[in-house]
Amino acid sequence: MTHNLPKQIARWILFALTLLPVAAFAQLLQGQVPNMRPYDKSGINVFEPAKDSSVFTGPTLRVGAGFTQEFQNLKHENNSDKVPGNVLYKISPGFNTAMANLYTDFLLADGIHLNVTLYLSTRHHNEAWVKGGYIQFDKLPFKGEFWSDVMKNTTIKIGHFEINYGDAHFRRTDGGHALYNPFIESYIVDGYGTEIGGEVLYQRNGLFGMVGLTNGMMKGNVDSVAVTTANGNIKKNPAIYGKLGIDKKLNDLVRVRLSGSYYHINSSPTNDLYNGDRAGSNYFMVMEKPYVTPPSGTGAYAGDGFSGRLNPGFGYKVDAFMVNGFAKVSHFEVFGTLEHAQGRGSTETTNRQFTQYAVDGLYRFGRSENLFIGARYNNVLAELKGLPVPVTIDRLSYSAGWFLTSNILLKGEYVTQKYKDFPTSDVRNSGKFDGYVIAATIGF
C-alpha cells in the first residue's frame, strides 16, 4: 500500500506545536496531591504509586486532563471476494474522533484523596460520561500510633474505580489519555474494567500485595436476577481479585518488576472484565461490516466501538490470571504479559477459555528520554461461542514518539493484524488490516 507519510508527519508536528500554550497554562491548574500517579510524562512506568510522606498544608484541588487527536490510514481485507456477504465497511484515510478526559483530584484531609474522572468525548460515547469516582486513604483520621503504623505501608481505595487486575492497564490508552501507552491501541483482549467496591494495597521494601472486592459489574445494578435455561437464576455474586509482586530498583540503571494477578467471579448478570472500556478502541472501523443505523440513531463509530479487539464473551462467570514482567536497563525497556482465562456467558453450560501473550520492547533516548522507538507483538488463541475450533489473532506494531514537553506527545504506529481459523461465513475469515496511525496527545 502507498501512504503519504512524510507530509502527514509534518502536519502533525505543526499541530502538536500549537498545543504548547495549552500545556503551559495547564501548569497553573495543578496543585500538589500526594500518593497519586501523575498524568504527564512523569507518570510513565508508575504502577501502584509509592507512599508519599509529604507534609499536609491544607485542602488542595488538582485539575488535569487528557486529550488525543489521531489521524488514521488503515486498510483491511477478508474473504469477501469469495463470500459476497462478508463485505467490509469502507474506510479511507482521515481524522478519528477526538477524545478527551477530565481529572479532578481533591486532597480533602491529610492522607485522604478523592478522585472523579470524566470522559468528555470518546469514540464509544461521544457525550460526556463519568468514568468513576473513589476515595483513597493513605492515612486514617484516627488518633493513635497503631493506626499510623497500619497505614504507613497501606492504601485503601473505596468507590467506583479502575480495578487493579494485572499490570497491562497501567500502560493502556484510556480515552483521551494516551501518554502512558507507547503504542496506539491496547491489547487485543482488553482486561480492563471499572467496578464498585474496595481495594487494600500493602507495599514494603519493593514487595506488594493487594486484595479487592467489587460488584463485578461496570455500574450499579439493583435489577432482579435474570433466569436462563442454561443456568437458572443468575446470582449477583461479588468479584474477588488480588495481586502479588515485587518492584525493585537494583541500582541507578536497573529496575525490575514481576507481578501475578487473579480475578474470580462465580456468577454475574453482566460481568465486564473484557468489555469494560466505555471509551472504545483506537482503530476505527477495521474488520467491521457495513453499518445499518438503528432507530436510536447511534452512529457507526460508537455502535462498532471496539474494532480490532476480541471480547471472549465471559459475562456470567470468569476465572482469570495475568502475569506481568517489566525491566528497564538504562534506556532499554521490556514489558511482557501472559494471561489465561476461562468462563462463559449466561446461556452457556460449559466454560470456554483463551490465552493471550504480549511483549513490548522500547528504547528511550534523547534529553530526559523524550524520544522513543519500540515494537510490540500480541497474540490471542481463543475458544469463541458457536465456533467449532479455537481462533487466533496476532498483531505486530512498530512505534516511535517524541515528547515536545512533559505534557505533549507526538507518536506514530505502524500495525499489522491478522485473523486465523475463523469460519468461512465469519467476516473475520482471512481477515487482515494494516497501516499507520499518528496521534498528538496531551496529559497534565
- Tell me the CA distances in angstroms from 143 to 76, 147, 149, 421, one per residue in order: 62, 7, 11, 62
Strand partners, 357: 338, 379
Please enumerate, as own/partner, the contacts of 350-353 that have beta carbons within 8 Å and a separation of 24 or more: 351/317, 352/312, 352/313, 352/314, 352/382, 352/383, 352/384, 352/385, 353/382, 353/383
Q: Is the pLDDT of residue 413 over 60?
A: yes
pLDDT tens across 305-342, in order? 899 999 999 999 999 999 999 999 999 999 999 999 99
| Arch. (CATH architecture) of 5-443 | Beta Barrel (2.40)
E strands within 90-206? 94-95, 99-109, 112-121, 129-137, 154-162, 194-204
Cell of 107: 486532597
pLDDT tens across 38-84, in order? 999 999 999 999 888 788 888 999 999 999 999 999 999 999 999 98
What is the 8-class DSSP label of residue 330? T
Q: Give the pLDDT score at 178.
A: 97
pLDDT tens across 110-142, in order? 999 999 999 999 988 778 889 999 999 999 999
| Closest residue by Cα to residue 216 from 164, 162, 268, 168 | 268
The HSE-up count of residue 112 (CA atoms within 13 Å, CB side) is 8
- Tell me the CA distances in angstroms from 310 to 77, 155, 178, 267, one per residue in order: 17, 33, 21, 22
pLDDT tens across 348-368, in order? 999 999 999 999 999 999 989
Strand partners, 174: 177
Instruction: Domain ranges for the chain, please list them.
Output: 5-443
- Grade residue 217 by pLDDT with cuts at 50, 70 and 90: very high
